[in-house]
Amino acid sequence: MKEVSPDPTGPDALPGDRSARPSLLPTAVTGMLIFLTAEVMFFAALISAYLIVSSGSSDWPPPDQPRLPALSTAFNTLALLLSGGMIFHANLTYARSSGSSRRTTRLLLTAILLGSFFVLFQGFEWVRLIKFGLTMKSSTYGSFFYLIIGTHALHAVAALVVLVLVYRNLKRKTLAPENFWAAQVFWYFVVGIWPILYILVYLN
């Protein structure tokens, strides 16, 4: 029986045989990038709607609505940015040690804890804002705040779940590098878009 050539361009290659050709990007990363492209457009639409509505109001934020905790959220923002830095370093140590480093595990765990702190602190601030009267129904300002920041929080929670799964696989030494890469891309998106939302919503 004739052996099939591993060269996909050779005369004996089967149609669609890509086993000898390296892919440009792993499938997990490609899928994550496509998903994040859609999410970027989603956030861009929310930001655009917010900018148009806020520019049309004579008083923004409305004087009868509670003011957002910009200072404490600035501290929270630092925690989130730090978690992004931790993930970056975790990736560097992962690449250097070919995936078997305790330092990578510690850095990843620290990033997860910082991200969890961010989400929990945001939740705590939300409870206080609701007590002070800022709700989704109290005003357009409230609706936009909870919609935009809430959507980001949902993404942060989803990204944290992904990071926890990556951490578990890393501890078991079953982590595929492309899955770690895809999880990082998701976390960089959550971290990267937050300063834009903070400046537009909290500092506007």
Judged by the rule CB under 8 A, the positions of this chain that interact with other proteins are 22, 24-25, 33, 37, 40-41, 44-45, 47-48, 51-52, 54-56
Q: Compute the least distance from the CB of residue 73 to other proteins, in Å.
A: 24
Helix (H) or strand (E) holding 39: helix 27-56
* Whole-angstrom distance, CA of residue 17 vs CA of residue 9: 9
Looking at the Cβ atoms of 119 and 197, the one nearer to other proteins is 197
Looking at the Cβ atoms of 44 and 176, the one nearer to other proteins is 44
Q: Tokens 């045989």 map to which residue?
A: 17
Q: Count CA atoms within 13 Å of residue 144 on its CB side.
A: 25
Q: Compute the least distance from the CB of residue 48 to other proteins, in Å.
A: 4
Q: Compute the least distance from the CB of residue 107 to other proteins, in Å.
A: 25
Number of CB atoms found within 10 A of residue 22's CB: 5
Looking at the Cβ atoms of 24 and 71, the one nearer to other proteins is 24
Q: Compute the least distance from the CB of residue 198 to other proteins, in Å.
A: 18
Q: Count CA atoms within 13 Å of residue 192 on its CB side.
A: 12
Looking at the Cβ atoms of 16 and 22, the one nearer to other proteins is 22
Per DSSP, the chain holds a count of helices (H) and strands (E) of 5, 0
